[in-house]
Every structure is written in structure tokens, then in C-alpha cells.
Amino acid sequence: MRARLALAASGLMVELREVELKDKPAAMLQASPKGTVPVLVDCAGRVLEESLEIMLWALQQHDPAHWLAPETGSLETMLALIAQNDGDFKQHLDRYKYPGRYADTDALIHRTAGAEYLAQLDTRLQQHLYLFGRQPALADMAIAPFVRQFAQTDLDWFIQQSWPALLIWLESIVSSPNFVNIMTKYAKWTPGDTRVCFPSLSR
């Protein structure tokens, strides 16, 4: 989701190939034997295999909404906050959401640990609507999809917590037209299919 958000915000257009990870096409594995998504192959043949890497690639080419230049802080401070999300918080999220995938895992322990990071975000968001100012920036769009996953694991519990600023922030992002548009479902790609552009030419 976050790679698509940045691509849409940048105004760049790519060819989209929707895949199912349980049935990975040979073309995907040839480009990236790692076998995870997202994968982006640029015009020079360079392969980008991480969503944050794709975000930076797109925004460094064109950043009309100034996601890389927040009102407060800097790109470096945003990347530090994103690193916390992609590290410890993501680890707790995975074990909270999918405890059966990990041996001897107590989902509630990981929910509590993940909530500590969310409380830190709420404290930041009490100062301004977004993490680094009055407008959304890279950090907001890189982190929000993971907070959304955490929330949806047990939404009733999530909305009862004492992080009002976080709830407002998350709702403002997931209800935005850009976020709604990137959630569009696409048919599974197979070789020979008609090219699909992202963002869609019809939008």
C-alpha cells in the first residue's frame, strides 16, 4: 500500500502486475528471486525490492506534495521514525496479527508492546495533525498502512484506547481519496495480459 501511495503522489506511472504470492509468476521470480512484494523494475533494469525504497525512488523524481520536506524535522528524522515502525513495531504487529505462525507466541504480549509505539505516535500527533506538521509527509504514508493493520486486528479494542490524536490521524489518511484509490482491486496478472497502468489513466 505505501509503495502505491508514493507512486500515486509522485505522478509517475508504472505498469502494474498484480500477483498472488501462493502462485508467483516466473517473471516475478526472475526479476526478484526473493519472491516478496512489492517489486519494481525501473527503465534501466534496476530492481527495487522494498516498499520504502520504492517510495523514495518515486518521490526523489517528483514530489509535488513535498512528502520528503516536512514542515518540522527532516527526511532523516522521518526515516528514523519509519525505522522504528519497520523494525520493532512490525515484529510485534506480525505476532499479534498472526500468532499461529510463530512458536510460543502470546498475541496479547505483542499487542501491548506494539501499543507502546502507537502511544508515542499519539504524543507526537497531539502537537499537530500529522507526524511532522500540518500536512502529510513520507512518515505518515509509510507508517499508516501498518497502523491500519494493527487496528483491524481487533478494531473494538483499538478504538477504546486512549490515543485520540492517533485515531483522528489514521481516519484522515485511510478515508482520503488517494488512499481509497490505491485500494482498488486488480485482476491477477498472467503473461500476455493487456497492460495495466498505475495510477489508472481513467482517474
| Contact yes or no for 70/133 (Cβ under 8 A) | yes
Confidence of residue 200 (pLDDT cuts 50, 70, 90): confident
**Is the domain of 185 the same as that of 140?**
no
Whether residue 87 sits in one domain with residue 30: no
What are the start-end ranges of the H helices in 98-175?
Answer: 107-125, 138-153, 155-159, 164-174
Statement to judge: residues 94 and 57 lie in one domain? no
Examine the pLDDT at 203 and tell me if it is beyond 70: no
Q: Is residue 8 part of a domain?
A: yes
Are the CB atoms for 127 and 69 separated by under 8 Å?
no
Q: Residue 8: which CATH number? A: 3.40.30.10
Digit-coded pLDDT (tens) for 84-111: 999 999 999 999 999 999 999 999 999 9
Flag whether 20 is in a domain: yes
Place 19 in a pLDDT band, splitting at 50, 70 and 90: very high
Query: Can you give the residue range of the structural domain that contains 149?
Result: 75-176
Residue 33 and residue 101 share a domain: no
Q: Please indicate, yes or no, whether residues 134 and 93 belong to a single structural domain of this protein.
A: yes
In a domain, residue 131? The reply is: yes
Neighbour tally for 171: CB within 10 Å: 11
Are residues 84 and 171 located together in one domain of the fold? yes
Q: Are residues 170 and 86 in the same domain?
A: yes
Q: How many domains does the chain have?
A: 2
> Is residue 101 domain-shared with residue 166, that is, in the same domain?
yes
- For residues 93 and 154, membership in a common domain is answered with yes
Domain containing residue 156: CATH number: 1.20.1050.10
Provide the pLDDT for residue 199: 87
